[in-house]
């Protein structure tokens, strides 16, 4: 597939079922490399479920069935034979609430590389903390507990921890909804920097955030993809009335 050269991830006719509940319906989306994509929509619209299916996290939820194709690095990762551990190194996830390990700042980043037998842990830790724009704030406190950091710092630590595994795609599920505006601004700035090296896909409830930092925005409603477009177009001149109603607050 030629398009995989310039695209980080593509889903084709992706469906997710929880038992009999058809939560995500026939989603065709393309995530170009080195861009930030925002998934927006009201609670329960399937955007987080969709995001979780992108690195097979839904496999962990009992009764879940995912059909369709997810093209990544030249093959369909929704295939039964996929090595999930390897997959989740390449497609990392950052959650809504910062969830650092009950360990030191250093160990949070070094833990997984050490587990995988990687060398030069000091270098990896420094480089990942730098990429996550946290190094200057924690370089003198590497031995301190990660839980002593502020919420915003913890979230950047979680991003650094994800980067340590060498992913090419980052999935973020409302990464700033538990953070204050200044920490939020730092994370947003960070995403802007990180997209040079990664494909970023983010679920957000904050439409201004989607408008500020994403290149393309996808609007989900009741499990369906209503509209996807360049962010600047979607927020100034959406094609679908449902999108217009949602983003102007005329919904429901």
Partner 1 sequence: MSARLSFHEELEKLHQNLLKMGTMVEEAIHLSVKSLAERNEDLALQVIHHDDEIDGLYLDLEKECFRLIALQQPMAGDLRRIATVLKVVTDLERMADHAVSIAKATVRLKNEQYVKPLIDIPKMAGLAQSMVRDALKAYIDQDLPKCYQIGKEDHQVDALYKEIYNELIGIMQEKPETVNQGTQFLFVAHYLERIGDHATNLAEWVIYLVTGKLEELND
Number of shown-chain residues binding partner 1 (CB under 8 A): 14
Comparison of 191 and 211: residue with beta carbon closer to partner 1? 211
CA distance 56 to 66: 9
Provide the mask over 139-178, with x wherever binding to partner 1 is found by CB under 8 A and - wherever it is not. ----------------------------------------
Comparison of 49 and 184: residue with beta carbon closer to partner 1? 184
Supply the minimum distance, in Å, between the C-beta of residue 244 and partner 1: 5
Comparison of 70 and 234: residue with beta carbon closer to partner 1? 234
Supply the minimum distance, in Å, between the C-beta of residue 225 and partner 1: 18
- Site of tokens 């903390």: 129
In SS3 terms, the chain reads as CCHHHHEEEEEEEEEEEECCEEEEEEEEEEEECCCEEEEECCCCCCHHHHHHHCCCHHHHCCCEEEEEEEEECCEECCCCCCCHHHHHHHEEEECCCCCCCCCEHHHHHHHHHHHCCCCCHHHHHHHHHHHCCCHHHHCCCCCCEHHHCCHHHHHHHHHHHHHCCCCCEEEEECCCCCCCHHHHHHHHHHHHHHCCCCEEEEECCCHHHHHHHCCEEEEEECCEEEEEEEHHHHHHCCCCHHHHHHHCCCCC
- Site of tokens 């590497």: 142
CA distance 53 to 71: 12
Comparison of 3 and 248: residue with beta carbon closer to partner 1? 248
Supply the minimum distance, in Å, between the C-beta of residue 236 and partner 1: 6
Supply the minimum distance, in Å, between the C-beta of residue 32 and partner 1: 23
Supply the minimum distance, in Å, between the C-beta of residue 95 and partner 1: 26
The gap from C-alpha 7 to its chain's centroid, in whole angstroms, comes to 16
Comparison of 120 and 236: residue with beta carbon closer to partner 1? 236
Comparison of 109 and 247: residue with beta carbon closer to partner 1? 247
CA distance 177 to 209: 10
User: Which residues ranging from 193 to 252 are in contact with partner 1 (CB under 8 A)?
Assistant: 207-208, 211, 235-238, 243-244, 247-250, 252
Comparison of 199 and 204: residue with beta carbon closer to partner 1? 204
The reply on whether position 181 binds partner 1 by CB under 8 A is: no
Supply the minimum distance, in Å, between the C-beta of residue 251 and partner 1: 9
User: Which residues ranging from 78 to 97 are in contact with partner 1 (CB under 8 A)?
Assistant: none
Supply the minimum distance, in Å, between the C-beta of residue 235 and partner 1: 5
Q: Which residues bind partner 1 (CB under 8 A)?
A: 207-208, 211, 235-238, 243-244, 247-250, 252
């Amino acid at each position: 597939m030629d398009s995989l050269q310039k695209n980080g991830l593509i889903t084709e006719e992706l469906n997710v079922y929880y038992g009999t509940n058809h939560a995500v319906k026939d989603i065709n989306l393309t995530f170009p490399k080195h861009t930030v994509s925002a998934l927006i929509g009201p609670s329960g619209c399937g955007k987080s479920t969709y995001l979780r299916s992108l690195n097979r996290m839904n496999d962990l939820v009992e009764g879940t069935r995912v059909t369709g194709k997810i093209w990544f690095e030249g093959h369909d990762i929704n295939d039964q034979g996929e090595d999930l551990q390897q997959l989740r190194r390449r497609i990392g996830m950052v959650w809504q609430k910062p969830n650092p390990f009950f360990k030191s700042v250093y160990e949070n980043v070094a833990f997984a590389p050490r587990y995988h037998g990687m060398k030069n842990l000091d270098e990896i830790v420094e480089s990942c903390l730098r990429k996550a724009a946290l190094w200057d704030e924690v370089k003198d406190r590497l031995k301190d507990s990660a839980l002593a950091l502020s919420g915003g710092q913890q979230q950047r630590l979680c991003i650094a921890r994800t980067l340590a595994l060498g992913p090419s795609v980052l999935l973020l599920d409302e990464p700033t909804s538990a953070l204050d505006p200044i920490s939020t601004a730092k994370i947003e700035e960070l995403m802007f920097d990180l997209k040079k090296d990664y494909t970023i896909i983010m679920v957000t409830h904050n439409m201004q955030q989607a408008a500020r930092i994403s290149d393309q925005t996808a609007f989900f409603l009741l499990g369906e993809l209503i509209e996807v477009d360049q962010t600047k177009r979607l927020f100034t001149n959406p094609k679908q009335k449902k999108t217009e109603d949602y983003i102007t607050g005329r919904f429901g």
